[in-house]
Structure formats: C-alpha cells, structure tokens
Structure 1
Amino acid sequence: MAKITVIGQGECDFDGQFSLLEALDENGFDMPYSCRGGNCGACLVKLVAGDVEEIQSPVYEADKGHILTCSVIPLTDITIELV
C-alpha cells in the first residue's frame, strides 16, 4: 500500500481507489479539480518524490515534474505539492 504525502496538509494511504484524486478526496483533503477526466488541468500538482502510473491519457498536458491527480495512481510512496 502506497503512502501519499501532501506537503502542508498531511498523509493518507492509497487503498486501490480509481485515481490519486479519488484517494485524496476520500481522505478529506481539499484538492482542486473540475472534470476528473484529464481535460482541464485543475488537479495539477507537483510530484516531489515517488513514482506514479498514468491510468488514463489526459488531454491537458502537464509540465515535466507535474501530474494530474485524476489521471494517475501511485506505484510507490509519493510526495506531492499543490501548485
């Protein structure tokens, strides 16, 4: 089970939810999002540490070192930062 650390907000476990965004939402984190489908970029965060896997191909293209929480799952413990 991967541990998710959100800088300045806390930690939670990834328990096989559909996406990183879903895991954060279920654990009470106040995460920005709009579409949940990779089309808008509202859920963009900086991936500080760890590895993720893309589960859907987003239309919005994130800059290097950034991820869309609606479109990935953690493969390892990860640390993210809101941008």
Structure 2
Amino acid sequence: MKIYSVHLTQTNLTLAHSNRTSLLETLEANNVRHEYQCRSGYCGSCRTKIKKGKVSYKETPLAFVNSDEILLCCCQLESDVELEL
C-alpha cells in the first residue's frame, strides 16, 4: 500500500498516511487533535483547508466542502498533501 506524506503547515509537522485508516485517525494517533463529530462525512466538523495535493472520496460526503477543503474523516489521499493545520 502506498504511503503518503501529510504536511501540517501550522505546526510544521510531517506525518505518514497509508489510507488504511482515516486521515483523522492518523492525526489522532500522532497526538494532533482536530474537531470532529460524525466520522462519516455527514456533519462537516472535520473540514480542513488543503493547500497542496489531491484527495478523493469513496462515497460523496453529505457535508458541503469547498474546492480548497477536505473532510479528514472520510477522504482518501491520492497524493502527498499539505494541510492548514
């Protein structure tokens, strides 16, 4: 499975992510806390700005997401990303 680089601009931290778990779970495993509620793309609480990179979704999330935002709970990385976190 491919390993992606996740760079957090506000903390200058770079993490590895494999899409085996959600990006939210990878952040939590590395003691990076972020707001969340539903963990399924329904509420939008985990909405985060993406500065670089590409993500996709297995199922279209119900929460509204701008073109420069992702949902940490349900996105799948398609490339290395840079997040405003």
TM-score range relative to shorter protein: 0.7 to 0.9
Structure 1 portions without partners, runs of 5+? none
Answer yes or no: is 1:8 the counterpart of 2:10: yes
Q: Could you tell me the TM-score, scaled by structure 2's length?
A: 0.85
Unaligned runs of 5+ in 2: none
**Number of matched pairs:** 82
Change in 2 beyond 3 A, CA 1:13/1:60:
same
Alignment of 1:69 with 2:72, yes or no, is yes
Shift of 1:40: 0.9
Residue 24 of structure 1: aligned partner: 27
- Return structure 1 stretches of 4+ with deviation > 4 angstroms: none
The CA RMSD measured in Å over matched residues stands at 1.4
Please say if 1:38 is aligned against 2:41. Answer: yes
Query: 1:81 pairs with 73, 80, 84, which one?
Result: 84
- Return the TM-score normalized by structure 1: 0.86
AA partner of residue 43 (structure 2): C
